[in-house]
Structures are given as C-alpha cells and as structure tokens.
Structure 1
Amino acid sequence: MIETGSGTHNVAPTGPVRPPGGSPGVGWIVVGLLVLVAALIGGSAGAVAVFREPAAPVALPGEPTVLPQEAARLAACAFARLMVTYHHSDLDGYFEQMRAGSTGEFHDQFVEGAAGLRAAMETAQVSSTVEGEPECLSRSGAGTEYVVVAIVGQRLTNGTAPDGRSQRTTFALTMRKVDDRWLAAAIDKV
C-alpha cells in the first residue's frame, strides 16, 4: 500500500522483495531445508505404513468396503436394535433372529432359556420398540472379535402399564466373526 495525496493505492513490487540486509538465496535455503525435513519425516512414516499389515476390508457384493472393526460395530448396532424390538403376541420372528444373530455361549444360553423367556414375555404382555437411533462405539478388540458399547433408547410396555415408559439401556456386546458374519458372542448390561 502506498499512500499518496489522492488516497491509498495497492502497488505490487516490481523487483524481488528481500528483507533488509538479507541475501537473495537465504529464503530458498530455508525452504529447501523445510522440504528436506518434511520428506524425511514423510518417508519414515511411509516406511512404517508399508511394513504395517493393514486390516482386511470386508464387503458384501455391491456394498462399500468396511474395515473389520467398523463391520463389527455396525453388526452390534443392528443386533442391539433387534434385542429391544419385540411384541408379546409375535415372538417367533424375534426368537429366530436372536438365535441367528448370536454365537457361542450366549447363543447356547439363549436357546436353553428361550421357552421360559417366551412364557414370561407372553404372561407379562411385554413389548418394546426402539426410540431413535442406537449409538454404538467400538471399545476394544482385534481380528475376529470386538467389544462394542451400544446405547439404545427404547419404549417398554406391559399388561399393567400399557402406556409404557421410555428408557435408555447400555450394553457391551462382544461381536465375533463366524465365517463371513459378525455375531453376538456375549452381552453385558453396562
């Protein structure tokens, strides 16, 4: 900016701009050193990334590729939604989906207790629906087993409280990969 008698004007310099007493090559030397340092750091990080074995992505035909941790998280979220969606007058589909979505000791316990659980649900006339979207966060794990924390809003009703009540429930779901599916291997209320 140059101030003249008729106002202030933007004027571009016509020659190289140098700090007072500075030599023309010093700026380029500093820039060159910065580029060299960045290349060395980037090269080291690149070398580490090359030697690190990447997680194998997972994808169903026609769907985007998903890393195992994210696939486990998505499966846990879907299973949590399933767990809290049932109606006492139509439990066949619920029990079948719970069996199909579980594995290991949890699956075995669910199958063993299904008759008693069904009788209790029908007698009490319990129903539950999901309120909002479940929040699911990966907590730990690696390879074929991850623990996911799911926070689920649900509306519960029963024979004595047909208007129901809302609540938020938090579960820790251990998801295990069996063949190409992520199944619930353990569920703990948090």
Structure 2
Amino acid sequence: MAHDDTGTAVLDKAPVPESTTVERRSSKPRGLVVALVLSINALLVMLAALVVVLVDHRTDEQAAQEAVALAREYAVVMSTFDYQNLDANRERIAEMSTPAFAERYGSMVDALRELVTEGQGSAEAQALHAAAEHADGDTATVLVFADQNATNVSTPDGGTSRFRMVFSLVRIDDRWLVDNVETL
C-alpha cells in the first residue's frame, strides 16, 4: 500500500489483467468464421469439379451422337450404288473418311467396278440401328445395322442383305472421319 501526501493509505492501482474469458469468447467466433470460410471454399471447389465432370460428360455424349450420325450416314452412302455411276458416292465417302481409308475405299470400288457393271448391280441401303460402343474426344467405335436391297441381272427382283458393321472413327480438326469399317 502506498500513502498519499496526507498520510492516508491509498491502494495501489495495479493494471487489471484482461479477462481470459473475453479472449476466449472473441477467439471462438474468429475460429468459427475461419472454419465457415474454409468450408465454403471446399464446397466451391467441389462444385467446380462437379461442373467440369458434367460438362466433360456432356461433351463426350455430344461427341458420341455426332459419331453415330456420321456412321449411320456413311453406312447408307457406302452401301448404296448404281452400276451406271459407281463414282457417284466416291467423293462423299472421301469427304467422310480419313485419307488412308478413302484410298482403300477407292481401291475397292475399282476392283469391283467390272463385276458390278457387267452384272448391272444396284443397291439401296438404310441404316436401321446405330449406337456408339465407345466415344471420347478423339476416337469412337460405332455399331451400325443396315439393310441393303440389291438387284442385278441374276436377281432382278432384288434381295435383301443384312449388314452389321463396326465403324472406327477419329476426330480430326473438330470433324469425325471414318478410319475403318468392318463387316461382321
């Protein structure tokens, strides 16, 4: 204790420590705010990842639909012909094919030209079913069921052939192109 000038005892005024309770209370809301901000950030990251997955899935789905449409059209164009103008579809096939496959298709037409012309062959085709077996951004495999009604000198009334084809497609410069066709 200290004494003032009059000799009266005066209590020392020591600094009062701040309450630890106050500090704890102020740190609790701060901790909650930090936890809330971290939770919101984590939620936003998960949401962004979900959007990327959904967009990627939609893109693959759209790519598959485009590949199926091309394979369906290709099956009809490839399986439809007339002996009087065998080259009618050749340009269209070349546009829808990789250069290597267009060359193989052209060689096949050349090899069959004499046989088809002498037999006066013609055919019309329709793609009955088509579905993607596999499709991603760069490659696709498409199955096509097509029927071809063909006539020639031996079968003037025509006959129907049922083809099951597996198309291998590649995406080049944002376009699907047929790279191979196998008949099952």
Q: What TM-score results when the alignment is normalised by the length of structure 1?
A: 0.64
Name the one with the larger helix percent: 2
Partner deviation per Cα, 1:5-29 (whole Å, 9 max, x = no partner) = xxxxxxxxxxxxxxxxxxxxxxxxx
Contact 2:129 2:146 in 1 (8 A): yes
Q: Which runs of 5+ in 2 are unaligned?
A: 1-43
The amino acid across from 1:139 in the alignment is E
The 3 A distance-change label for structure 1 pair 70 and 159 is same
Deviations 1:48-100 (A, max 9, x none): 52342615759xxxxxxx81111111111111111111111122212222222
User: After TM superposition, which residue ranges in structure 1, 4 or more long, deviate above 6 angstroms?
Assistant: none
- Give the CA deviation at 1:153: 1.5
C-alpha distance in structure 2 between counterparts of 1:130 and 1:87, whole Å: 12
Q: Distance in 2 between matches of 1:56 and 1:111?
A: 36
Q: CA RMSD in A?
A: 2.8
Structure-2 change in CA distance of 1:84 and 1:138 (3 Å): same
Q: Give the alignment of 1:46-125 within 5 angstroms.
A: 46=47, 48-52=49-53, 54=56, 57=59, 67-125=62-120
Stretch deviating more after TM superposition (120-129 or 142-151): 120-129
1:125 is paired with a residue of what secondary structure? coil
1:105-134: CA deviation from partner (whole Å, max 9, x where unpaired): 322212334322222221222111125x43
Matched residues in 1 for 2:155 and 2:163: separation?
19
Unaligned runs of 5+ in 1: 1-42, 59-65
CA distance in 2, matches of 1:86, 1:97: 12
Contact 1:80 1:134 in 2 (8 A): no
- Between the two proteins, the alignment pairs up a number of residues equal to 141
Partner of 2:41: none
Q: Which has the larger radius of gyration?
A: 2
State yes or no: 1:189 paired with 2:163: no
TM-score (norm 2): 0.66
Between the aligned residues of both structures, percent identity stands at 22
Deviation at 1:135, TM superposition (A): 0.8
